[in-house]
Amino acid sequence: MNKQHVSPIKRRVSRKIWVGDVPVGGDAPIAVQSMTNTETCDVDATVGQIEQLQQAGADLVRVSVPSMDAAEAFGAIRKRVSLPLIADIHFDYKIALRVAELGVDCLRINPGNIGREDRVRAVVEAARDRNIPIRIGVNAGSLEKDLQKKYGEPTPEALVESAMRHIDILDRLDFQNFKLSLKASDVFMTVAAYRQIASQIEQPLHLGITEAGGLRSGTVKSSVGLGMLLMDGIGDTLRVSLAADPVEEIKVGFDILKSLRLRNKGINFIACPSCSRQNFDVIGTMNALESRLEDVLTPLDVAVIGCVVNGPGEAKEADLGLTGGSPSNLIYVDGKPDHKVQNDTLVDHYEQLIRRKIAEKEAEEALVIARSE
Ligand code: SF4
């Protein structure tokens, strides 16, 4: 099949780091992450949410650790889940030391906020001893007071200067195993800040538009902001911040990457918006298929097109295609017309066909892997 799965984007070359067993940077796929919003001390609820995020395809999950009680809970959570976990810590170096002992995969802590030099050194040494990377996270909402004064308000330059302060501390301790984020809720500021820092350091960049908004508005803002950076080749991992179920953050993150052909996880639907020419209910069919096939992680191009105006053309480029017709609709398999289907059995039939195709693809891939071993 003529697949257009290879992205023309030339990615910025960054140093590869490892968050648990997930590579970030270098030639690694852009990792998609989210953050739990349960009470961390509620271990069952947090484990449950991490499992939901894993099912949705998350590569990494961040958990906020605001207290020593939460650090102990983090240890219990760590034992029960397989995804790499990032502990989100502000200021308290003792929490960082404790989660390092308990098995954290990455520490999100800003060295400049830890305080005394001996404390910074203790955290960095604990990270070094256990090969734990640090994520420096600069946020326009919590910029240092002197930088706010110097620049008058948060600016891209202020974000970069703040980041360089944290980086300098790690440099002095000869610690290079870190990644960096520079987030603002404003798209222009975020994009400008990342563009500036991208050429100044070699470490991987974690992308995000912070406090982006609710499901729809935050998705749009994140898609625009992250899209511009990804098009520039910038970004090694991303989190879409939504005031919504974190599972949505994962889905949107993958959809952004899929739209730029940077990751191919799950079904890539090609659907027309429908109009009076449609020969079946395109929107109803799409909604049903999307919700029934949410569990699928194997990449597959599936076209759902209401009539022959665009149907055959799109179907030819997809793994499976459905083109509306009268008196019956036409199904394409691997770009070729294959058989007809009536409206009343359409959704059930197409779902079965998609699942069969996925099973075939997975079996083929397993064979390739077995042969290469
Ligand atoms: S493909 Fe056909 S049904 Fe779909 S929007 Fe175009 S003309 Fe309308």
Comparison of pLDDT for 65 and 265, the residue scoring more: 65
- Give pairs for 215-223: CB < 8 Å, separation 24+: 215/242, 215/243, 215/244, 215/248, 218/242, 218/243, 218/244, 219/252, 221/187, 222/252, 222/256, 223/252, 223/256, 223/259
At 1 the pLDDT is 43
**Smallest CA separation from ligand 1 atom 5, residue:** 274
Question: pLDDT at position 3, please?
Answer: 52
| 81-120 core/surface letters (b: 16 or more CB in 10 A; e: else) | bebbbbbbbeebbebbbbbbebebbbbbbbbbbbeeeebb
Side chain identity, residue 322: L
1-10, 143-152, 196-205, 216-225: the lowest-pLDDT one: 1-10
| pLDDT tens readout for residues 50-69 | 999 999 999 999 999 999 99
Atom of ligand 1 nearest to the CA of 272: 4
Q: How many residues does the chain have?
A: 373
Cα(279) to ligand 1 centroid in Å equals 9
Q: Best mutation site among 269, 270, 272 for ligand 1, i.e. most ligand atoms within 8 A of its Cβ? A: 272
Q: Whole-prediction pTM value?
A: 0.90
Ligand 1 centroid from CA 325, angstroms: 11
Q: Where does ligand 1 bind, in terms of residues with CB under 6 Å?
A: 272-275, 277-278, 305-307, 309-310
CA of 291 to the centre of ligand 1 (A): 22
What is the distance in A from the centroid of ligand 1 to the CA of 260?
24
Span 18-46, pLDDT tens digits: 999 999 999 999 999 999 999 999 999 99
User: How many angstroms does the Cα of residue 286 sit away from the middle of ligand 1?
Assistant: 14
Burial of 231 (0-12, 13-18, 19+ CB in 10 A): middle
Superfamily covering domain 17-259: Dihydropteroate synthase-like (3.20.20.20)
Q: Which of 286, 305, 329, 330 most suits a substitution to test ligand 1, by most atoms within 8 Å of the C-beta? A: 305
Q: How far apart are the first and last CA of the chain?
A: 26
Kindly list the domain boundaries of the chain, sorted by start residue: 17-259, 267-372
Comparing 78-82, 214-218, 318-322, 367-371, the range with the smallest average pLDDT is 367-371
CA of 263 to the centre of ligand 1 (A): 28
The fold of the 267-372 domain, in CATH, is Sulfite Reductase Hemoprotein; domain 1 (3.30.413)
Give the distance from CA 278 to its chain's centroid: 35
